[in-house]
């Protein structure tokens, strides 16, 4: 069997731990992981109250296809998903995973992309508390839990949830 491939969609302002920790955990579990961003090059994380480290972009969004991946991970941070949810190509990429029923995992503010793509509708979800109303207005059923799995959609609240979030992605691909 070929190695399963996971896409992480992000741009400048991603919550550092919510991209780096799942990426590293998924790689350690034997998955091929690509960081995809609107532009090639590097993107910079947000850590604490300031800019964090840069991460190499493996593939520009325009060159990526959901057909080439088995799952999608959407890190949070406030800046990152807010920029991506107004990027038509990013929203279309997320929607393609949802239509295909492939694991679609979002943490913290990442579920904003589930709202924008329509993937939150009629789903049990969680998120950072400030995203709750957006998810509920989009037809999601929000609860304050470490990780919520509803079909192929996986959501978590915050950096403390990363171990459970990463395990849920691994379990979804098992």
From 23, 85, 109, 157, active-site residue: 109
Catalytic, 108? Answer: yes
Examine the residue annotation and report whether 75 is marked as an active-site residue of this protein.
Answer: no
Smallest CA-to-CA distance from 26 within 171, 166, 173 is with 166
Q: Residue 55, Cα to own-chain centre: how many angstroms?
A: 15
Indicate the SS3 state at residue 118: coil
Task: Give me 107's structure tokens.
Answer: 């943490």
Which one is catalytic: 108, 119, 169, 172?
Answer: 108
Alpha-helical runs (H) found in 32-146: 79-84, 88-100, 112-117, 132-137
85-88 long-range contacts (CB < 8 A, ≥24 apart) are 85/112, 85/113, 85/115, 85/116, 87/11, 87/38, 87/61
Catalytic residues: 108-109
């Amino acid at each position: 069997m070929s190695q399963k491939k996971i896409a992480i969609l992000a741009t400048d302002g991603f919550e550092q731990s919510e991209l780096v920790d799942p990426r590293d955990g998924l790689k350690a579990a034997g998955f091929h992981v690509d960081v995809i961003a609107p532009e090639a090059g590097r993107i910079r994380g947000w850590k604490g109250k300031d800019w964090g480290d840069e991460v190499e972009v493996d593939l520009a969004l325009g060159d990526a296809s959901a057909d080439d991946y088995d799952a999608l991970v959407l890190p949070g941070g406030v800046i990152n998903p807010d920029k991506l949810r107004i990027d038509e190509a990013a929203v279309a990429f997320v929607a393609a995973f949802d239509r295909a029923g492939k694991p679609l995992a979002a943490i913290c503010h990442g579920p904003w992309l589930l709202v924008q793509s329509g993937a939150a509708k009629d789903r049990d979800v969680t998120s950072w508390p400030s995203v709750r109303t957006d998810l509920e207005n989009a037809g999601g059923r929000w609860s304050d839990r470490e990780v919520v799995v509803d079909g192929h959609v996986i959501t978590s609240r915050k950096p403390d949830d990363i171990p459970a979030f990463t395990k849920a992605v691994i379990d979804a691909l098992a």
